[in-house]
């Protein structure tokens, strides 16, 4: 139901007669993508006891005065549908948040203080794991020692990875766990840093660090649950009410299920199994049903066609501009790709394939076109990233889009973060097809926007600003990078809401505010339809509601979901 004339609107209101347990949210500047794909504005919303939208009340229509049990005063604030991140790694986001981060410390003393506080905050964790230290940044002139770590934590192993990942620093308990002694030989490609008497000093370089790293216990179910809670909090406090998890392992799925069973699953998850094996292990004969009142579903499978541009693992048609002896490489042969895609399509698992380089995208599109002869219907095959497309391949994309549906799952913030690197790798000729959001849309793909968290922060506002401007937070480059690939605000909003839901077969459940859909919404302090990109980046999410229950309120941030209303089934 889009913007109805007054007569029809009156009818709609009367069909949605308020019932006793309904909630009216009024006095809002509401905006959502409407059924026609355009922005629809409203001033109030009625939702039922199950957290489902019953009606939107538009300007010029009468707001019901009675019949509902609860009323929420929107205080004139901007109300949007809950945003959706179409490409995250949920558990990696959570584990990154669970790990001690020393990357901002400026001295050994500051790092030790942080380590001590972290140990105190996590008394029951058997190992303390962290990363990010750098003795250069500390101006220490030497590596830190086990004894220094012992001075703050000696009761259990502490293992901290250096900022570049090429060394580890352990306390005595960690060295002991790894069996590292004066007698330990340096492994090839590694070095045990030693004291004058030959005993290990605390830092193990390169291959030597594996001696202790191999002893770090794998995360327990408790660790998974703690990490998941942190990831989820990071999502909903930024205004995300749903995410697509790109590469779900069985242990991840079990953590999501435990949260669902405990009624603490707040953010909706559209899961894509990590390869065919995890997908079949989780889903069995096909995608799972929607579970926990539309909070969790296994949609399909995530596959990898190639690597990344930064490490020159992306598969290009022509050599890298800055390394002419390579054009990257595929991670699957064409036959393997075809077989895996068939295996998934046969059982109606949705297919999502990581493809960065133009050759990877060309081969993937070719495989999609071939398979569309066999597997017909509404498939919505997804290209994850679709980062560099040879404009010559757009006609194939168009044909795939028409026959089975094509999703371009892209991350606007990658464009601003990667710009200089992409220019170096690709040279000037290939930039026209890089991060080509507007072209993808023009050729029939549905744009679903995301962040690839934890690669980037799961912050939809940074992405929204980049999507409409193609400039970074410093306003660079002036006028936008390849500005013809900018998208309009309406497209950006759809990419983070309705179209991201569509990309996960969720459009009948959430993604817009409309009668019959879940009441997932946010209050924000900035209007993304009118504010400057700089202002949009700084958007404050004031409240986040999922399924008619509040899960985040900036006024009580520490409460987080603890102060949430019960999840409505």
Q: Per rule CB under 5 A, is residue 452 in the interface with Zn ion?
A: yes
| Residue window 488-527: x/- pattern of binding to Zn ion, with contact defined by CB under 5 A | ----------------------------------------
Select the span of 205-213, 448-456, 504-512, 537-545 touching Zn ion (CB under 5 A). 448-456
Residue 253 and residue 271: Cα distance in Å, rounded?
8
- Minimum distance of Zn ion from residue 411's CB (angstroms): 8
Residue 144 and residue 467: Cα distance in Å, rounded?
43
- Minimum distance of Zn ion from residue 549's CB (angstroms): 29
The answer to whether residues 227 and 94 touch, using CB atoms and an 8 Å cutoff, is yes
Report the greatest alpha carbon distance in the chain: 90
Residue 550 and residue 266: Cα distance in Å, rounded?
10
Q: Per rule CB under 5 A, is residue 418 in the interface with Zn ion?
A: no
Which C-beta is closer to Zn ion: that of 452 or that of 472? 452
Say how many residues touch Zn ion, by CB under 5 A: 2
**Residue whose Cβ sits closest to Zn ion:** 452
- Minimum distance of Zn ion from residue 232's CB (angstroms): 18
The answer to whether residues 178 and 212 touch, using CB atoms and an 8 Å cutoff, is yes
The answer to whether residues 227 and 252 touch, using CB atoms and an 8 Å cutoff, is no
- Minimum distance of Zn ion from residue 386's CB (angstroms): 12
Q: Which of residues 233-272 bind Zn ion (CB under 5 A)?
A: 246
The answer to whether residues 513 and 58 touch, using CB atoms and an 8 Å cutoff, is no
> For tokens 């983070």, what's the residue?
496
Which C-beta is closer to Zn ion: that of 452 or that of 485? 452
- Minimum distance of Zn ion from residue 382's CB (angstroms): 12
Which C-beta is closer to Zn ion: that of 225 or that of 452? 452
- Minimum distance of Zn ion from residue 246's CB (angstroms): 5
Which C-beta is closer to Zn ion: that of 138 or that of 449? 449
CA distances from 140 to 133, 136, 205 (A): 11, 6, 17
The answer to whether residues 36 and 20 touch, using CB atoms and an 8 Å cutoff, is no
DSSP assignments along 352-389, one per residue: EEEE-SHHHHHHHHHHHHHHTTTS-SS--EEEEE--B-
Which C-beta is closer to Zn ion: that of 410 or that of 467? 410
Give the pair of three-digit tokens for residue 293: 């009142």
- Minimum distance of Zn ion from residue 89's CB (angstroms): 6
Which C-beta is closer to Zn ion: that of 90 or that of 498? 90
Which C-beta is closer to Zn ion: that of 246 or that of 531? 246
Which C-beta is closer to Zn ion: that of 28 or that of 246? 246
Query: Which phi-psi region, left, alpha or beta, contains residue 69 (left: φ > 0; alpha: ψ -120 to 50)?
Result: alpha
Select the span of 56-64, 212-220, 311-319, 446-454 touching Zn ion (CB under 5 A). 446-454
- Minimum distance of Zn ion from residue 242's CB (angstroms): 17
C-alpha triplet 403, 332, 379: angle, nearest 5°: 20
Q: Per rule CB under 5 A, is residue 61 in the interface with Zn ion?
A: no
- Minimum distance of Zn ion from residue 87's CB (angstroms): 6
HSE-CB at 220 with a 13 A cutoff on CA atoms is: 5
Give the pair of three-digit tokens for residue 237: 């406090």
Which C-beta is closer to Zn ion: that of 25 or that of 240? 240
Residues forming contacts to Zn ion in the complex (CB under 5 A) are: 246, 452
């Amino acid at each position: 139901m889009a913007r109805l004339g007054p007569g029809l609107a009156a009818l709609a209101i009367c069909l949605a007669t308020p019932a006793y347990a309904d909630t009216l949210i009024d006095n809002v500047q509401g905006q959502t993508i409407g059924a026609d794909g355009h922005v629809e504005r409203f001033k109030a919303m009625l939702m039922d006891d199950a957290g489902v939208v019953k009606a939107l009340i538009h300007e010029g229509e009468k707001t019901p005065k009675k019949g509902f049990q609860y009323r929420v005063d929107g205080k004139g604030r901007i109300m949007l549908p809950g945003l959706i991140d179409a490409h995250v790694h949920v558990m990696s986001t959570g584990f990154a948040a669970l790990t001690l981060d020393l990357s901002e410390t400026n001295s050994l003393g500051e790092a030790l203080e942080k380590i001590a506080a972290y140990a105190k905050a996590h008394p029951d964790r058997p190992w303390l794991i962290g990363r990010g230290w750098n003795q250069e940044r500390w101006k220490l002139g030497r590596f830190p020692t086990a004894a220094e770590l012992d001075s703050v934590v000696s009761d259990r192993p502490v293992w901290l990875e250096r900022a570049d990942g090429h060394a580890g620093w352990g306390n005595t308990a960690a060295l002991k766990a790894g069996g590292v002694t004066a007698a330990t030989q340096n492994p090839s490609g590694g070095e045990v840093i030693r004291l004058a008497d030959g005993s290990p000093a605390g830092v193990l370089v390169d291959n030597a660090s594996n001696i202790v790293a191999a002893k770090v216990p794998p995360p327990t179910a408790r660790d998974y649950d703690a990490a998941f809670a942190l990831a989820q909090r990071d999502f909903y406090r930024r205004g995300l009410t749903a995410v697509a998890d790109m590469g779900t392992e069985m242990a991840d799925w079990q953590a999501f299920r435990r949260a669902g069973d405990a009624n603490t699953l707040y953010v909706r998850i559209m899961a894509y199994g990590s390869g065919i094996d995890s997908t079949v292990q989780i889903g069995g004969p096909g995608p799972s049903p929607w579970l926990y009142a539309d909070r969790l579903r296994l949609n399909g499978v995530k596959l990898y066609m190639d690597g990344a541009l930064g490490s020159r693992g992306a598969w290009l048609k022509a050599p890298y501009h800055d390394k002419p002896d390579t054009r990257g490489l595929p991670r699957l042969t064409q036959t393997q790709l075809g077989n895996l895609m068939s295996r998934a399509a046969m059982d109606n698992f949705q297919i999502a394939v990581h493809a960065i380089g133009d050759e990877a995208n060309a081969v993937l599109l070719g495989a999609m076109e071939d398979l569309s002869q066999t597997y017909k219907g509404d498939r919505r095959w997804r290209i994850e990233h679709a980062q560099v497309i040879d404009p010559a391949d757009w006609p194939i994309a168009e044909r795939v889009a028409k026959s089975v549906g094509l999703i371009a799952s892209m991350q606007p913030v990658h464009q601003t973060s990667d710009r200089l690197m992409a220019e170096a790798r690709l040279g000037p000729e290939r930039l026209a097809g890089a991060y080509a959001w507007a072209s993808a849309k023009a050729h029939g793909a549905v744009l679903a926007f995301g962040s690839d968290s934890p690669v980037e922060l799961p912050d939809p506002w940074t992405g929204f600003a980049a999507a409409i401007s193609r400039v970074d937070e410093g306003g660079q480059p002036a006028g936008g990078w390849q500005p013809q690939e900018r998208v309009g605000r309406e497209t950006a909003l759809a990419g983070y809401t309705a179209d991201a839901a569509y990309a996960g077969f969720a459009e009948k459940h959430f993604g817009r505010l409309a009668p019959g859909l879940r009441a997932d919404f946010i209050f924000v302090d900035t209007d993304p339809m009118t504010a400057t990109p700089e202002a949009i980046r700084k958007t404050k999410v004031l409240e986040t509601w999922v399924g008619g229950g509040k899960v985040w309120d900036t006024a009580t941030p520490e409460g987080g979901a603890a102060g949430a209303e019960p999840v409505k089934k």
